[in-house]
Amino acid sequence: MTLAELSRSGRSPQLPLHIELADAAGPAPLGLENLLRVLPGQRYVGVAKWRGRKVLAKLLVGDKAARAFQRELDGARLLAGQGLPTPLLLADGLREGEGGWLLFEYLDNADSLGDAWRAVAGQPLLSDDQQAVLGKALALVARLHGQGLWQADLHLDNLLRHDGQLHVIDGGGVRCETPGQPLSRDKVLENLGVFFAQLPVELESFIEELLVHYLLANGEHALPVEALLKEIDKVRRWRLRDYLRKIGRDCSLFSARCGASILQVVRRQDEGSLGPLLADPDAAIAAGQSLKLGGTSTVALVEQAGRQLVVKRYNIKGFAHWLKRFWRPSRAWHSWVEGNRLDFLGIATPKPLAMLELRTLWLRRRAYLITEYAAGEDIIARFKPCLDAPGEAGSPPETELQALDLLFAALLRERISHGDFKGSNLLWQDGRWVLIDLDAMQQHLSAHSFARAYARDRARFLRNWPAESRLFTLLDERLPQVPGTCPE
């Protein structure tokens, strides 16, 4: 296969494949064994065999190949030239009109700091293990900045651990201000904003403590926390907007089909397993365990390849109802967007896996949403023993109250209203409160509109318990208020 042919092979070229490349020693075939990352028609990154050794191959094809190749090559040379730990570039080349390649030494048994972070993310905030992962990352970022470089695509998966040393990868994201001279303070703050914006928001209160790891390796600038927090907030907002733009289009994360008769979006990693279900969701609902039989929606628990899923069908009750619904985004689409928003923000909700909208000449009909199943107990059942218990025994466990505090704090911070905050829509699972039924959820741009919506959410939440009960009083005193929306 040639690079030109590879550019036309789509997302899943048949492996293994062989491409004839050449370096100073002459031509040599590259045997690509598996793919790690694919941008169809642009970039293919995978593990390969070349001249008898295992390599990481970056193959750049398409109209933008020459520019992407030069950026990757410049970044790799900058890292190596400044003495920063990075995989050795073994060979590179560019063929006019076809594409380019860069072959790096393959770091056997390497793992990313992203994997290390995911292994400890569930621990209490800034545990020793968490601090060790983030401290190592910040120390290496500080070395980059000290040499005048920064990684524009800075995240923990671009830092690899191998034989006790951290390596920077992805030279395409490496930029330079002045090689060998410390990066300017504004660039440092901007790049650290990118780093911290990808971590849980709750870690913001520990930023000063974490910055010590950076300053020990690069104390060139004083780093005001307030300025850094502004950068973090700016990057977070941009990342959310960018992510929500992807959830309805074909990309590396999602597979999408859009036409006059259908809109279907599914997480790419689940595309194969959910194919049969999406082909006939009504049959899956009929065969599953009914959770709700309503006029506007039907909900069923189904099992797919040993995995429990929830399928929600949004019904059209009749012609008059269809006239109200066909011209606007379906409730399945709205729930898909809001579920992905919560998932991205780290607010617990069953992971949305797919949505399907049936259409006739673009006019919407029935729609379906598929999510993971949350098996938790709802908050009314969870807190019921507290209603009858006397004194201190009538208080829910402090861990559950603290988790409720965190949930409400997150909703306030993100200006998100649920719209139907009844107790059955809040489940206790794995030490967190999980929000379900997101049909009316909204993130507000206006503080005023959010204040009114939050007041309604708070009042509806408290109505889950008798107003004269001790539990009602406890929760009313504990839940945060928006100024001007609740009596003091």
Residue 483 lies in a domain: no
Q: Say which residue, 181 or 325, is predicted with more confidence.
A: 181
Residue 484 lies in a domain: no
pLDDT given for residue 323 in this prediction: 67
Domain ranges, residue 399:
377-478
Of 59, 48, 53, 46, residue with least CA distance to 6: 59
Residue 220 lies in a domain: yes
* 224 and 135 belong to one structural domain: yes
* 355 and 381 belong to one structural domain: no
pLDDT given for residue 488 in this prediction: 45
CATH number of the domain within which 391 lies: 1.10.510
Q: What's the number of domains the chain is made of? A: 4
* 216 and 178 belong to one structural domain: yes
pLDDT given for residue 483 in this prediction: 56
Asked which of 84, 105, 126 is the last residue of a domain, the reply is 105
Of 247, 276, 230, residue with least CA distance to 344: 247
CA angle 71/77/82 to nearest 5° reads: 130
**Predicted confidence band at 261 (pLDDT cuts at 50, 70, 90)?**
confident
Concatenated DSSP letters of 267-311: EGGGHHHHHHHHH-HHHHHHHSEEEEE-SSEEEEEEEETTEEEEE
* 127 and 90 belong to one structural domain: no
Percent of the chain with pLDDT over 70: 95
State the average pLDDT over residues 355-377.
Answer: 89
Compute the mean pLDDT over every residue in the chain, rounded to the nearest whole number.
Answer: 91
CATH number of the domain within which 336 lies: 3.30.200
- Which tens digits make up the pLDDT trace of 107-129? 999 999 999 999 999 888 899 99
CA angle 26/32/35 to nearest 5° reads: 140
**Predicted confidence band at 259 (pLDDT cuts at 50, 70, 90)?**
confident
For residues 374 and 426, what is the distance between their CA atoms, to the nearest angstrom? Answer: 10
Residue 260 lies in a domain: yes
Of 203, 183, 437, residue with least CA distance to 332: 437
Q: Is the model's pLDDT at 487 over the cut of 60? A: no
Size (the chain), residues: 488
Q: Is the model's pLDDT at 390 over the cut of 70? A: no
- Which tens digits make up the pLDDT trace of 193-204? 999 999 999 899
* 467 and 406 belong to one structural domain: yes
Q: Is the model's pLDDT at 484 over the cut of 70? A: no
Structure tokens that stand for 60 in this block: 């750049």
* DSSP character at residue 243: H
Residue 354 lies in a domain: yes
State the average pLDDT over residues 205-226.
Answer: 94
SS3 101: strand
Q: Is 26 left (phi over 0), alpha (psi -120 to 50) or beta?
A: left
Between 23-32, 216-225, 414-423, 426-435, the lowest mean confidence (pLDDT) is in 23-32
* 20 and 122 belong to one structural domain: no
pLDDT given for residue 322 in this prediction: 59
Starting at the edge strand that comes first in sequence, how are the strands of the sheet with 426-429 ordered?
Answer: 377-378, 426-429, 432-435
State the average pLDDT over residues 13-32.
Answer: 83
For residues 9 and 454, what is the distance between their CA atoms, to the nearest angstrom? Answer: 50
* 74 and 42 belong to one structural domain: yes
Percent of the chain with pLDDT over 90: 74
**pTM, 2 dp:** 0.88
* 209 and 153 belong to one structural domain: yes
pLDDT given for residue 245 in this prediction: 95
- Which tens digits make up the pLDDT trace of 139-176? 999 999 999 999 998 999 999 999 989 999 999 999 99
State the average pLDDT over residues 249-265.
Answer: 90
State the average pLDDT over residues 3-26.
Answer: 83
Residue 488 lies in a domain: no
pLDDT given for residue 24 in this prediction: 60
CB atoms within 10 A of CB 474: 17
**Predicted confidence band at 280 (pLDDT cuts at 50, 70, 90)?**
very high
